[in-house]
Amino acid sequence: MEGNTLPAGKDPATGRFTTGNRFWEARSSHGRNPKFETASALEDAISQYFEWNDDNPLYKDQLVTFQGNATHEPIAQMRAMTIGAMCMFIGVSQETWNEWRKSRSDFSAIMGWAESVIYRQKFEGASADLLNANIIARDLGLADKKDHMSSDGTMSPRDNSAAILAALERKHKDDDA
């Protein structure tokens, strides 16, 4: 550290802040600046993700045969939008997005709009067979649900043996009569 001058409040031997210093008070603001100051700035970033998603489809290789010549052709396919991919694109974590949902009422309208656009894009893509319907249905919570419970709420089959025996006894009595 020779030749270097340390700011006031730092120990020259260790380079650490001295006990009781108030150097932090010189800062003009405390904490990090917010990623998005306004809902409009968030909307612009989300719109950029939507545009990027449309401009960058996924490609699959298709073997095409024409007049006896076979070639491999890239076929553009719809890229499904996701909240996770959008968060990565705009530079925030999904945890931050979820926290904003609870704490940033100024963002609620734009966040609801973004989530609706993503839901609709996946639903319509799966409906038109442009996306894998099974995967999208599970992602959107639309998978068929089957109730495998018996009437008493357990997974055990109902014990009907007593009722079956009684019916057989009645039938046997009727046959004898």
Q: How many domains are contained in the chain?
A: 1
Q: Are 6 and 14 in contact (CB under 8 A)?
A: no
pLDDT in tens, 59-102: 999 999 999 999 999 999 999 999 999 999 999 999 999 999 99
Note the pLDDT of residue 96: 94
Residue 61: which domain range? 36-142
Residue 78 lies in a domain: yes
Q: Would the pTM of this model clear 0.75, i.e. be above it?
A: no
Residue 175 lies in a domain: no
- Tell me how many degrees the CA angle 66-68-71 measures, rounded to the nearest 5: 60
Domain with residue 127: its CATH number is: 1.10.132.80
